[in-house]
A and B are shown apart, each in its own frame.
Chain A
Amino acid sequence: MQEYFLGSRSMGGFILAMTMMATYGSASSFIGGPGIAYSTGLGWVLLSMAQLPAGYFVLMVLGKKFAIVSRRYEAITLNDFLKSRYESQWVGILAAISIIIFLFSSIAAQWVGGARLLESLFNITYPIALTIFAFSVMIYVIIGGFRAVALTDTILGSIMFFGTLILLVAVIIAGGGVTNIMEKLIAIDPGLVMPFGADGNLSASYVSSYWILVGVGVVGLPQIAVRAMSHKNSKSMHHAIIISTVFVGIIMLGMHLIGVFARAINPSIAVADSVMPTITMEVLPPFLAGIVLAAPMAAIMSTVNALLIMVSSAVVKDIYLSYFNPQAPDQKVRSISYLVTAILGVIVYLMALSPPDFLIWLNLFSFGGLEAAFIWPVVLGLYWKRGNKYGAISSMIVGVTSYILFHQFYPNAFGMHTVVLPILLSLVTFVIISIVTEKKELLQAVHK
Chain B
Amino acid sequence: MDKDKFFSNDPRFKVAKKEAWIGVGLVLFNFVWWFAFAYGLGSKSPDEYTYILGFPSWFFYSCIGSLIVMSILVIVVVKYFFKDVPFEEEVQDIQNQSDKKSS
* Chain A contact residues, CB within 8 Å of chain B: 9, 42, 45-46, 49-50, 52-53, 55-57, 60-61, 63-65, 67-69, 71-73, 84-85, 87, 177-182, 186, 190, 193-196, 204, 208, 211, 215-216, 231, 233-235, 238, 241-242, 245-246, 249-250, 253, 381-383, 385
Set B12, B26, B49, B51: member contacting A64, Cβ < 8 A? B12
B78 touches A249 (CB 8 A): no
C-alpha spacing A397/B53, complex, angstroms: 49
In this complex, the member of B16, B31, B62, B71 whose beta carbon has the largest number of chain A beta carbons within 10 angstroms is B16
CA A127 – CA B10 in complex, angstroms?
A: 56
Is there a chain A Cβ closer than 8 Å to B43's Cβ?
A: yes
Whether A234 pairs with B87 at a CB distance below 8 angstroms is yes
B45: nearest chain-A partner, CB-CB = A190
- Minimal beta-carbon separation of A380 from chain B (angstroms): 11
* Alpha-carbon distance A231/B75, docked complex (angstroms): 19
Contacts of A238 in B (CB 8 A): 78-79, 82, 84
Residues of A within 8 A of B67 (CB): 49, 52, 249-250, 253
List 19 extra interface pairs beyond A60-B22, A61-B23, A193-B59, CB under 8 A.
A46-B34, A57-B24, A60-B19, A60-B20, A60-B26, A61-B24, A63-B20, A64-B85, A85-B2, A179-B54, A182-B55, A193-B46, A194-B56, A196-B42, A204-B35, A215-B27, A233-B87, A242-B71, A245-B71
User: Which one of B7, B10, B22, B63 has the highest number of Cβ atoms from chain A below 10 Å of its Cβ?
Assistant: B63
Q: Is B100 an interface residue (CB 8 A)?
A: no
Q: In the bound complex, how far is the Cα of B67 from the Cα of A61, in angstroms? A: 20
Q: Judge whether A69 and B6 touch: CB under 8 Å.
A: yes
Minimal beta-carbon separation of B22 from chain A (angstroms) = 6
Q: How far is the CB of A170 from chain B (nearest CB, A)?
A: 16
Which single residue of chain A is at the shortest CB-CB distance from B39? Answer: A204
Q: Which residue of A lies closest to B87 (CB)?
A: A67
- B interface vs A, CB < 8 Å? 2-3, 5-7, 10, 12-13, 15-17, 19-20, 22-24, 26-27, 30-31, 34-35, 38-39, 42-43, 45-46, 49, 51, 53-56, 58-59, 62-64, 66-67, 70-71, 74-75, 78-79, 82-89
The reply to whether B86 and A234 contact each other, CB–CB distance below 8 Å, is yes
Bound Cα distance from A84 to B1, whole angstroms: 11
Complex interface: chain A residues within 8 A of B51 (CB): 179, 182
Tally of A-B Cβ pairs under 8 angstroms: 152
User: Which of B19, B31, B82 makes the CB contact (< 8 A) with A211?
Assistant: B31
Q: Are A57 and B27 in touch, CB under 8 angstroms?
A: yes
**With A63-B16, A193-B49 in contact, do A42 and B26 touch (Cβ < 8 Å)?**
no
User: B27 CB to closest chain A CB, in angstroms?
Assistant: 5
Nearest CB on A from B89, distance (A): 7
Question: Is B84 in contact with A181, judged by CB distance below 8 angstroms?
Answer: no
Contact present for B16 and A186 (CB under 8 Å): no
Contact of B2 among A71, A84, A242, A246 (CB under 8 A): A84
Name 26 interchain pairs, CB-CB below 8 A, sorted by A: A45-B59, A46-B38, A49-B66, A49-B67, A57-B26, A65-B16, A67-B87, A71-B88, A87-B2, A179-B51, A182-B54, A182-B56, A193-B46, A193-B49, A193-B59, A195-B43, A211-B27, A211-B31, A234-B82, A234-B87, A235-B84, A238-B84, A242-B71, A242-B74, A246-B71, A383-B17
Question: In the complex, what's the smallest C-beta–C-beta distance from B16 to chain A, in angstroms?
Answer: 4
B78–A64 touching, CB < 8 Å: no
CB of B30 within 8 A of CB of A195, answer no
- Bound state CA distance, A321 and B86, in angstroms? 31
Contact A242 B34 (CB under 8 A): no
A37-B41 Cα distance, complex, nearest whole Å = 20
A385 and B54 contact, CB distance less than 8 A: no
Residues of A within 8 A of B82 (CB): 234, 238
A368 vs B82: C-alpha distance when bound (angstroms): 31
A416 CB, min distance to chain B CBs, angstroms: 14
Asked if residues A234 and B84 are in contact (CB atoms below 8 Å), the reply is yes
Is A383 a contact of B42 with CB atoms below 8 Å? no
B55 / chain A contacts, CB cutoff of 8 Å: 178, 182
> Which of chain A's residues have a CB closer than 8 A to the CB of B43?
195
